[in-house]
Structure 1
Amino acid sequence: MNELRTSSEAQAAGDRASFAAFDELIRSGRVDAGAAKYFTSSAERRRVFNISEATGAGGGYMLPTRAVAAVAKLLPAATPILSLSRVVETETGAPMIWPALEENSQGAGLVPEGQTSTNADPSISAFVFGTTPKFTSGIVAASFEALQDSAADIANELVEIFARRLGRALEAFFAMGSGVSQPQGVFVGAPVGVMLPAGNTTSVTSAGLSALYASVDANHRQSSRCAWLMSDSTWLAVQQIAAAQNWPLWFSAPTGAQPTSFLFGKPVVISSGAPPMGASAKPIVFGNFDVFAVRLVKGVVMLRMDDSRFVSKGEVGFQAFLRADSRFTAATTTGVCLLQNSVS
């Protein structure tokens, strides 16, 4: 027990020292020799200074490990699709081959005595994650006064700003990205499971929701990652249908947690990147998000800019970069399906 306590105390001390070094870097632009260990190993330094494959980030610093963990912890709040999907972390953003396996239609069989068993090979293919796209937080300008004020927790404020900004950008592309030199969005790559009849350009129907649920393979519906994904405005329309049909939407949650919305027993997740209802729009996706992979390149790069365009205004600029991509893991799948509004 004493060893565990000592280990925990050492980690807490390391966290404090790491953020103290990060705070000093932000305020003064300097990293003391003794604090350099919190920012970069030799391999990480090469990634920062030779990052021309993605961005001209010469002179940048990798955020300390604890700061990266803080960003990662905050990202899901602004990126719900990230929390639903299969996440793969890689050391670099170079192209990567990913195996695509779809064997839901396969099953075991009965073999009579003396008979030869038949092959039931799964359908195995592959797709390539291209060079991982780069996302930026945009520039955050901080005044000299804010940096000199020891009462201001600049380090944590920047981490939260970076996480929120990067999270919103990721969510938009994980939802609606074209997949060409950018992430593939779940609302773009998923097949249509249900198309509503005429007269439903800006509405959904109870029959359509039931049909969308049934369009997803039963095995995929058993997954813990099976969920509904839509915008707030679409969810409002669904709630009105549910009220008319007397469908239960709210289930109890663990003590201290927020109540969770459920539809047909599956959680409802709201995405700021989901498209609104409209003619031929695809406003709802339902299914097992384990078939949707998100690739994150480890590490967040931060730039501290104190050139003339900032100094002349009494400011210092900060900017963060994160590399991420997303793709469906199979060319065709019944794991995730879309509901489409009618044309007219």
Structure 2
Amino acid sequence: MDLQIALILGQDGITNGAIYALLALALVLVFAVTRVIFIPQGEFVAYGALTLAMIENGFFPATMWLLLGAGVVVTLADGVSAIRAGQSRKVVGIAGVNLIYPLLLLALVWSLPLRDLPLAVQVLLTLLIVVPMGPMMYRLVYQPIADAPVLVLLIMSIAAHVAMVGLGLVFFGPEGYRTSPFSNARFEIGPMFVTGQTIWVILSSLVFIVALALFFSKTIYGKALRATAINPNGARLMGISPMLAGKLTFFLAALIGALSGVLISPITTIYYDTGFLIGLKGFVAAIIGGLSSYPIAAAGALMVGLLESFSSFWASAYKEVIVFTLVIPVLVWRSLTTHHMEEEE
């Protein structure tokens, strides 16, 4: 290995690490607020990338039907609950958010010449379709068992992951897709070339991380999520709705996942089940941070990205094994240095 190859591998590792850092942020956030180990995080990456690919190729995105179907079920569930609680006026708002919005979006997407749209509009349509599935998933899958033990929530996450992978095969088929890069520029820096798409990925990740930091420190909703993560019972006593916190958390997780998929789809071929491996590497980074510290998780994400990149050069057949083996010493170290506490019944 010479210096040029090392720099190329380092560039790839940092690019991948930027995506894993975003996913680690989502996993840490979801676990801190809801105690859910969000295994389907990677599926939002695949759904975002493949939805953009369908739009770019002029096909009506099949995920639109999933959004509409989930909206119908949520409308029925929340509408019946509101009527039983004597709050019939809320039914209009519930239907507006969960049913009218998907119907209007469906009509808009159906009427547009998808292939001829600018890339920015295609990305926006992708986010408008995929991101609302996050709060809907929380409402249908996790909210009914929000007080269950972590193990039960983990089992439900596995079930949701399997269901989303199966639906992905139905919606997108077994073929892989790549999308057009945001930029075709190439910059020569010393002995290596840096592509415009790589710069897009790294800068977008940094901007999004900074935006989230400002959201958590400057806005009332961000502070509410921080309070819920630090002390759920205290936050509930202060009037912060656990249901609202959960939906907002899953909204942010879906946004991070879909955005990550959009960013990496020009770099690597995405299949219906690709998201699982990508999300799992973000999970390794989150584990390094103990599912609680985002700065450590971000550093772990860069470590995972670099380890994966250099492993692909030295032992490409075992690069996934090497990356996931990183979890073992981390877990052993945390097991030896952390005081164990039984979960409250």
TM over 0.5: no
Name the one with the larger helix percent: 2
Q: Relative contact order (C-alpha < 8 Å, sep 6+): which is higher?
A: 2
Sort the TM-score into its range (normalised by shorter chain). Answer: under 0.3
Name the one with the larger strand percent: 1
Q: Could you say which structure has the larger radius of gyration?
A: 1
